[in-house]
Amino acid sequence: MKREIWRSFDYWLFAVVLVLCVFGIVMITSALAGNLEVSVNSQVQYVVIGLFMIIGLTIFDYHYLDAMSGLLYFGIIVLLFALNIFGQAQFGAARWLKIGPFQLQPSEFAKAVLIIRLAKYFSDRWYDPHDMRWILTSFGLTFGIVLFILLQPNMSTSIVMMVIWFSMLWVSKVPTKYLVILGLFGFFFITGMLIWILLSPDTVPFVQEYQLNRVRTFIAPDPNARYGDNYNVDQAVISLGSGQLTGQGYGNGTQVQLRFLKVRHTDFIFSALGQEFGFVGTMSIIILIMFMIWRCFRNAMQAPDLFGALICYGVGALLFFQTSVNIGVNLQVLPVTGLTLPFVSYGGSSTLALAVMIGLVESVAARQVKQEELR
């Protein structure tokens, strides 16, 4: 059985994840040059642990998650609730749990749990009438997690959760009329929230002042700002533009090395990459990430059952949305969110959670029935 697993193992997917992780470590090393508060060694440790997790989850049969999905769902809600009591607050939000020497962000792992739970729901009810009750039940499962993430508060991750739900709803062949209704509702909801933030920001629930400032400065930026919310986004655009075709060279980026660009190892690592490796470097990373996403969707199409297919689709949709938002923030076409660039940005919880999701995709891939075996 183990030999069959490694015969079907998606080596291309594992290879592209490994390349992204190595390149991420290289870029983080440059971005953190001279920084005594944050060490790249931590990221190296998380990457090594993550790679072993992918191998371990490949061996683990994902079908067991079918029965465990309810327990995982309950467990992550309890963990998110515990953040309100035991959570470590940073930047005005209680998002971290301290476990020994490590600080973990449960909301990152909640993404994987939601994908598993929705895959279980949609696969079990695939042949049920796809009516509004069917849709609202899946929304209730999603909002059960979103509510506790909003309480941290963590708006960006809440949006990611809703995107996961909508994406998996879409691939579950929900009738077009319901997709249109949901799309219109989402459009008017977002428009209403933006108007609310601009007219009466103090009354908006689940949102901190720094989050409101991000939205306000995105809609109406201050061109004379030297510090604050839109200053760093301006520096990100300068970094990308100054890299031109091939970049200023590794370790030679002016905005990066002179520290004009803040959080350059996390949210704005794409801009740091653009300044040091130019258009060629940024396009290379985009192509690698798109290849990783394509492998997830390919494994979904070849999955042995609906449950496995939906897991792969959910992971692929998450990777696509998170990558798009991170790059959009760096290009100043979206407000700052805090979402990382998958496997490239610094972040232990993000790296480990993404490794779990890739491990699940590999578990599905390892149990595909080869065409020659069907003949």
pLDDT, one tens digit per residue, over 179-192 is 888 888 888 888 88
Give pLDDT, residue 368. Answer: 82
Tell me if 27 is assigned to some domain: yes
> In the block, which residue shows the tokens 């007219």?
199
Peptide bond into 106 cis (omega under 30): no
DSSP character string of 262-299: TTTTTTTHHHHHHHHHHHHHHHHHHHHHHHHHHHHHHH
On the question of pLDDT at 231 being above 80, the answer is no
Tell me the C-alpha distance between 116 and 319, whole Å: 15
- Kindly give the pairing relationship between strand 93-99 and strand 102-104: antiparallel
Tokens of 115: 């994908």
Strand, coil or helix: 190: helix
Give pLDDT, residue 213. Answer: 72
Tell me if 207 is assigned to some domain: yes
Tell me if 375 is assigned to some domain: no
Give pLDDT, residue 225. Answer: 59
On the question of pLDDT at 336 being above 60, the answer is yes
DSSP character string of 327-368: HHHHTTSS----PPPTTTS--HHHHHHHHHHHHHHHHHHTT-
| Contact predicate 363/62, CB 8 Å | yes
pLDDT interval class at 140 (50, 70, 90): very high
Burial of 236 (0-12, 13-18, 19+ CB in 10 A): buried
Tell me if 21 is assigned to some domain: yes
Tell me the C-alpha distance between 277 and 167, whole Å: 33
Which of 111-120, 151-160, 258-267 has the largest mean confidence? Answer: 111-120
Tell me if 266 is assigned to some domain: yes
Mean pLDDT in residue range 199-226: 70
Mean pLDDT in residue range 187-205: 78
Mean pLDDT in residue range 291-318: 96
Tell me if 54 is assigned to some domain: yes
On the question of pLDDT at 95 being above 80, the answer is no
How many C-beta neighbours within 10 Å does residue 84 have?
11
Give pLDDT, residue 146. Answer: 92
Kind and range of the H or E element at 102? strand 102-104
Give pLDDT, residue 371. Answer: 38
CA angle 255, 258, 260 (to 5 degrees): 50
To the nearest 10°, report the CA torsion of 243, 249, 255, 258. -170
Give pLDDT, residue 372. Answer: 37
Looking at the structure of the chain, the number of domains it has is 1
Mean pLDDT in residue range 278-303: 96
Tell me if 96 is assigned to some domain: yes
Give pLDDT, residue 28. Answer: 93
Give pLDDT, residue 179. Answer: 86
Tell me if 13 is assigned to some domain: yes
Give pLDDT, residue 234. Answer: 82
pLDDT interval class at 375 (50, 70, 90): very low
> Can you give the residue range of the structural domain that contains 365?
2-369
Mean pLDDT in residue range 316-340: 92
DSSP 84: H
Mean pLDDT in residue range 92-117: 80
